[in-house]
Amino acid sequence: MNLRRFIGKIRACWNILRSKAYPSFSQAGEDQIVRYLFTSLNISRPTFLDIGTNDPIIGNNTYSLYLRGSRGVCVEPDNRLCDKIKRVRPEDILLRMGVGLEANGEADLYVFPDKYHSWNTFSKNDADKKVYESGIKVLKIDKVPLITINEIVNLYFSET
């Protein structure tokens, strides 16, 4: 990269930083769509339920809300990610479990290596397909407790 191009990139970054643009942390701008909808409804700090939080910042649909003062419940079955979620988002409620159809159940979580943690799944078929297509092996299979969405809503979102 030549010096002129490098300086141009620095200027572009500076213009973005000093603008009033909202950065997107989600995979495809979903957080900006949600921000627009809540702004249109005059809801400044919505409460959220983030099922399968995964990384608490990168590719996350609720981190933008968190930065603007919203708080919610993050559900993440992979213990490797839970420590980072708790550190980055200490004011959110963190449930170290999965969401299922039956209360008091458990399921097998197919856990991929750190670099591929977004591939983690409760579906054996999906895990097998990823292994077949990529050659990346499942690191381990964890038994994970399950909670239903209704239980989460009753415990953390009931109106008082």
- Output the domain CATH number for residue 146: 3.40.50
Tell which wins on pLDDT, 74 or 16. Answer: 74
Task: Identify whether 99 is part of a domain.
Answer: yes
Structural domain range at position 46: 24-156
- In angstroms, the CA 118 to CA 52 distance is 9
Task: Identify whether 63 is part of a domain.
Answer: yes
Task: Identify whether 39 is part of a domain.
Answer: yes
The predicted structure's pLDDT at residue 13: 67
The predicted structure's pLDDT at residue 159: 72
pLDDT over 70 at 1, yes or no: no
Q: Could you give the number of structural domains in the chain?
A: 1
Decide: 89 and 61 in contact? Cβ < 8 Å: no
How confident is the model over 54-106, as pLDDT tens digits?
999 999 999 999 999 999 999 999 999 999 999 999 999 999 999 998 777 89
The predicted structure's pLDDT at residue 16: 64
Task: Identify whether 8 is part of a domain.
Answer: no
How confident is the model over 110-158, as pLDDT tens digits?
999 989 999 999 999 999 999 999 999 999 999 999 999 999 999 999 7
Task: Identify whether 4 is part of a domain.
Answer: no
Task: Identify whether 5 is part of a domain.
Answer: no
Q: Are strands 140-147 and 106-111 parallel, antiparallel or unpaired?
A: antiparallel
Task: Identify whether 141 is part of a domain.
Answer: yes
Task: Identify whether 11 is part of a domain.
Answer: no
Band of the pLDDT at 107, cuts 50, 70, 90? very high
DSSP bridge pairs for 140: 111
